[in-house]
Amino acid sequence: MSKVAVFFQSEAPPVVDGIKKPFKPGGYSDSGADIAFALKESGVFVATPVTFPDPANDMDWVYPDSEAGFTKAYEAGARIFWLNTVLYVGHPVESLKYPDVKFVGQLPSEVQKIDDKFQTNKMLKDRGLPVALSTFVKLENWESLDLTAPMVVKPIRGRGSQGVEIAKDKVQLKALIERWSASSEFGDAFMAEEFLPGEEITITVMPAGTYRIQGEEVVKDSAWALPPVRRFNHINDVAPYNGVVAVTANSTVLQAQELGDTAVQEAMQACERAGTLLEIHAPIRIDCRQNSEGRYLLFDLNMKPNMTGAGRPGRDNQDSLSGIAARGIGWDYKDLLQAMLAQAWKMVISSQGYLRK
């Protein structure tokens, strides 16, 4: 197996059509360090910026996703680049000239397109998938629109539940929009989404490929779902951002008897179809919630699921939603990472940069 280097987000992504994607403090260096540490513990050769990385120091384990960071990792012998970062058109990875390198992660051009949650949900809905209704709203003209309360107000290029709030009436909506306008944290527009009152689940979708499941090699010809994870203990009807409340405190994988529920099966099939339509190259995470009729609707698709995991000192409660889901098929955190690593893919150089073979 080739040596692996894990990369973190070293700078904020560009503003796209007036919409901002907030920069996460640390740039996912915490989950990057979890990944690198767990891979090394599994016997994988891992390149690190320092010779003897400290398990308690995130930056000892990860490289910045910059031209200098990629060069340093390549010179350290890494030939698999794990892109645990936010990708976009013009990202430094697109200009690499290493024909012998494989990648774990998505294509930058696809991430930038799909990170627009409004357009992605619209595309999925247009293709017949069950998706929550939403409206694109500019901060400057929201009062001219006929918005029905209660509604979910959320960033268009957000991260998980960060910035997501419920506006139960026009008064709350006005106060929320005034706060957004003053901070300009998310840009000049937002999504107003129908409020779904029922149970919430999150579904991790894996790309097509060959996997080892319960001791057997299994070939998946299309995107496939891990068992859903139920979310509970919401705050004001919103699952709290994992940077505030660890998901291990409010999430549990569905048990075998629950997986047979018709509504759950339909949600899993819809998420698998979404993964196939998007031609994913690495895991994605889709949040779903029941409407008043008990049907699960897709409402938030994340091209880069959080991949924190237990292993390093003080990280025992840092399982991610995808890690919790993986336990439903008998995988621990290391098994999930090995499954992701096995799907590493190659890019080829073209006049437009790198493209998948």
Q: Flag whether the pTM goes above 0.85.
A: yes
Give residue 330's pLDDT.
Answer: 96
Residue 94's region, left for phi above 0, alpha for psi from -120 to 50, else beta, is alpha
Cβ(44)–Cβ(64) below 8 Å? no
> 118-162: per-residue pLDDT in tens?
999 999 999 999 999 998 988 787 777 777 778 898 999 987 777
Domain positions in the chain are 3-114+345-356, 129-194, 200-334
> What distance in Å separates the CA atoms of residue 58 and residue 258, rounded to the nearest whole number?
38
SS3 content of the chain, % helix, strand, coil (to 5): 30, 25, 45
pLDDT exceeds 60 at position 5: yes
- How far, CA to CA in Å, does 313 sit from each of 33, 36, 42, 54, 248? 11, 14, 17, 10, 17
Mean pLDDT computed over every residue of the chain: 91
Give residue 9's pLDDT.
Answer: 97
Identical fold for domains 129-194 and 200-334, yes or no, is no
Average pLDDT, stretch 178-189? 81
Give residue 308's pLDDT.
Answer: 95
- Domain 129-194: CATH superfamily is ATP-grasp fold, A domain (3.30.1490.20)
Contacts 24+ apart (CB under 8 A), 37-40: 37/61, 37/311, 37/312, 38/309, 38/311, 38/333, 38/334, 38/337, 39/4, 39/6, 39/334, 39/337, 39/341
Residue type at position 275: G
pLDDT exceeds 50 at position 357: no
Give residue 81's pLDDT.
Answer: 98
> 88-110: per-residue pLDDT in tens?
999 999 989 898 999 999 999 89
Q: Which residue has the higher pLDDT, 10 or 246?
A: 10
> What distance in Å separates the CA atoms of residue 7 and residue 31, rounded to the nearest whole number?
10
Q: How many degrees, rounded to 5, is the angle at CA 153 between CA 151 and CA 157?
A: 145
Give residue 140's pLDDT.
Answer: 80
Give residue 352's pLDDT.
Answer: 59
Q: Please, what CATH class does the domain formed by 200-334 belong to?
A: alpha beta
